[in-house]
Chains A and B, each alone.
Chain A
Amino acid sequence: MIYHLLWLVPTIPLAGFLLLVLFGSSLSRRGAAFIGVGSVGVAAILALMLDINYLVAPPPEGIYTQSLWTWIRVENFTPDISFRLDALSVVMIFVVTFVGFFIHLYSAGYMFHDKGYSRFFAYMNLFVGSMLILVLAANLLVLYLGWEGVGLCSYLLIGFWYHDPANGRAAMKAFIITRIGDVGLLIGLLLLFTHFGTLQIQAILTQAPLRWAMGAGIASAAAALLLAGAVGKSAQLPLQTWLPDAMAGPTPVSALIHAATMVTAGVYLIARMHAIFSLAPAVMTLVAIIGAATLLLAACSALVQTDIKRVLAYSTMSQIGYMFLALGVGAWSAAIFHFMTHAFFKSLLFLAAGVVIHNLKEEHNMFKMGGLRKSVPLAYWTFLIGSLSLTAFPLITAGFYSKDLILYAAFTSARGSIWLWLAGWIGAVLTGLYIFRAVFLTFFGVEQRKPEQHAGATMRVPLVVLATFAVIAGFIELPRTLGNHPWFTTFVERLLPGSPIVNSSSSSYVGLQIASVIASLGGILLAYLLFARKRSVVRQVEQTPVGAAVARFWLQDWGFDWLYDHLFVRPYIWLAHLNHGDIFDAIYAGIAWLSLVLNGLFSTLQTGRLRWYAAGVLIGAVIVIAIAVFV
């Protein structure tokens, strides 16, 4: 039984991490890359074998659980270190190890001249190991272990170039803001434990509908607390401000952690705990609204960025917004499908942007690029494919099939509404506009800088592979109008309930599909007109006071940083300053001061003169006798 090898999938990258940490300094660059890339490669092969085995010979009831040992034993709290393989984790481990391997391979070239080469691979391996623990966990406590592990790696890798204090600040910001959500998640876990007496996922999922009524307050509370964790990790409103700053890390880190895998952990968590969320319709609506609001806000912010990586960061926020929208309307499989296609095309976009950045020696500003179409053709073509997939270019790209599914569910699901659909539709137009703005600014127009170095084979191969998957990954889910082969949905719906479709007919399906095609093509066309043909229009708009103000507002992420700075950071610093002299310490300082004063007073009595002491004894004796006699 190959399933017994499941524990090796997260263990191998963790072993790679240990090797690199212990012997990293004595390894050559080649050796560090061999261990770092190789461990993830082996994990990827193993994951692929397990996945194929799962498809060919699925375990009974579609779930294989492997318990390794009991982690803690305190009365009836006995969480196991246990992993489970089911339809959801099959998809997750495939994406994490497969995309992870190619990003590691890319990093071997990208980071080659960096001083912290083996340190980088150690952190990356730890990340992949933690992420695999997170997605394979059969127990919520193990899931939490992976959850915190990826948060730690995110912190370490955002601040990888720690010599610049700004990078350290960005890392701390990411860590602290996600921690706010994590506190909610932890409380949610405790709540679930107090009600179910176990943290085993399967037990909670099966017992929740039996014990809790539909829409019960306790179910809503549990779902809302889990949602807090998901919102923090997945950079959704209102905890989204850390993601753009997280771009301070090296580009492969952004591709792996802040696009393909870790930031989608929130989506995974909600899909994993779907039974709890299904019992809390109010929270489901909240998830959909958060998703819709985030996707619009982030898309607007992406429109005005100058840093190419920040455009992609806002785009990631926006796309995860789509996934939340899908989760919120109950289209679990659509969210997971979009997670998968997004992992391919967004990591592709990051890696292609990384080639441009690498060739221009760490230039991030798109306005200083331009005309790179001919000098870095591979980056151009792959970035173009990624952009087309992101904008859901009809028929040939993976993004089309996944986003189409989400928009369809947003409209037709029992929980959906035309407003949610409209938000997604406008977001789709904006997506085309912002990403093709980046394409035209970077690769078209006048060439401003010549590439100073060229990417090696290790960086080229991942681009080609991911570009291929950004196109073909969509074909595993053919919609009704195009062959009607929903393999992916059928597969995932073994585990997750199907989306509750109500008002669906073939004509509305075709109508919605045409609408999303219009959105996709319209966005691209608009970008072409505004940024390739008539740049003067954009400049004129930017020069009007309103246009300039809106652009500045969007550039600063709708003022969220400013708001949080004034609402939380400054009052906190003010309180800290107020308490600088420590009000509470004043009491203790006062006692010390009083003792000192009394000491001075009494020591003057200590004259050293014998006769004074005798007089003192006399006076004391007189007083004592007087008290004894008269009182």
Chain B
Amino acid sequence: MVNLPVGYGLILAGVLFALGLVGVLARRNVVFILMSIEIMLNAAGVAFIVAGSHWRQPDGQVMFFYILTMAAAEVSVGLALVLQMHSRFKTLDADAASRMRG
């Protein structure tokens, strides 16, 4: 097994996170925003795994399971909200649901 330097893994995680973040900020479609959030969560997961293998600890992989579970719950709630939003506004544009302003 080739030992990749830990920096490569973290850079990968950082790039994934940035991609997800840009997706959240730039996309207007709620489904794509949810997908971008998933990417960000997975980026965090990659970072945990890399760190775990670096220190040879199982904690990183345990944390990833937590993230996975949390992401599943998040997606189920998120998709329910998306369905609600679609039936109310007949659109999936996040900016259309801006009635709750100060």
Contact = CB atoms under 8 A, between A and B. Distances in A.
Given A609-B94, A609-B95, A611-B95, A618 B25 contact: yes
B101 interface: yes
A602 B24 contact: no
A540 interface: no
Contacts of B102: 602-608
B39 interface: no
B2 interface: no
Contact of A608 (B21, B26, B28, B101): B101
A608 B94 CA distance: 10
A609 B94 CA distance: 7
B100 interface: yes
A614 B40 CA distance: 13
A606 B101 contact: yes
A399 B42 CA distance: 115
B54 to A, nearest CB: 19
Nearest to B94: A610
A618 B23 CA distance: 13
A618 B101 contact: no
Contacts of A609: 94-95, 98, 101
A615 interface: yes
A603 B100 CA distance: 11
B24 A611 contact: yes
Nearest to A606: B102
A611 B25 contact: yes
Output the residue of A605, A606, A610 with the most chain B CB within 10 A. Answer: A610
Contacts of A614: 24-25
A609 B100 CA distance: 8
Contacts of B101: 606-609
Contacts of B26: 611
A212 to B, nearest CB: 75
Contacts of A610: 33, 94-95, 97-98
B16 to A, nearest CB: 16
Contacts of B21: 618
B90 interface: no
Contacts of B97: 608, 610
A604 B101 CA distance: 8
A595 to B, nearest CB: 15
Interface in A590-610: 602-610
A615 B27 CA distance: 12
A602 B102 CA distance: 8
Contacts of B88: none
A75 to B, nearest CB: 61
Interface residues of A, number: 13
Looking at chain A's contact residues, is the secondary structure mostly helix, strand, loop, or mixed? helix
Output the residue of A603, A607, A609 with the most chain B CB within 10 A. Answer: A609
Interface size range on B against A: 10 to 19
A554 B101 CA distance: 76
B100 A608 contact: yes
Contacts of B94: 609-611
B99 interface: yes
A618 B94 CA distance: 18
A611 B25 CA distance: 5
Interface in B53-93: none
A607 B98 CA distance: 7
A433 B85 CA distance: 103
Contacts of A611: 24-26, 28, 33, 94-95
Contacts of B95: 609-611
A609 B99 CA distance: 9
A621 to B, nearest CB: 10
Contacts of A615: 25
B5 to A, nearest CB: 22
Interface in A298-353: none
Interface string A84-100: 00000000000000000
A605 B102 CA distance: 7
Nearest to A615: B25
A247 B33 CA distance: 90
Contacts of B98: 607-610
A614 B25 CA distance: 7
Nearest to B36: A614
Contacts of A608: 97-102
Nearest to B28: A611
A614 B20 CA distance: 12
A610 B81 CA distance: 14
A608 B100 CA distance: 5
A168 to B, nearest CB: 54
A615 B21 CA distance: 9
A605 B26 CA distance: 19
Contacts of A606: 100-102
B26 to A, nearest CB: 8
A606 B24 CA distance: 18
Output the residue of B26, B33, B102 with the most chain A CB within 10 A. Answer: B102
Contacts of A607: 98, 101-102
Contacts of B28: 611
B88 to A, nearest CB: 15
A604 B95 CA distance: 16
A606 B102 CA distance: 5
A282 B74 CA distance: 94
A385 to B, nearest CB: 89
A440 B10 CA distance: 121
A603 B21 CA distance: 25
B36 to A, nearest CB: 10
A604 B100 CA distance: 12
Interface in B8-46: 21, 24-26, 28, 33
Interface in A550-603: 602-603
A604 B97 CA distance: 17
A313 B99 CA distance: 79
A623 B78 CA distance: 28
Contacts of A618: 21, 25
Nearest to A614: B24
Contacts of B24: 611, 614
A611 B96 CA distance: 11
12 contacts: A605-B102, A606-B101, A607-B101, A607-B102, A608-B100, A609-B95, A609-B98, A610-B97, A611-B24, A611-B33, A614-B24, A618-B21
Given A607-B102, A608-B101, A611-B25, 18 more contacts: A602-B102, A606-B101, A606-B102, A608-B97, A608-B98, A608-B102, A609-B94, A609-B95, A609-B98, A610-B97, A610-B98, A611-B26, A611-B28, A611-B33, A611-B94, A611-B95, A618-B21, A618-B25
The 6 tightest CB contacts between A and B, nearest first, are A603-B102, A606-B102, A608-B101, A608-B98, A610-B94, A608-B100
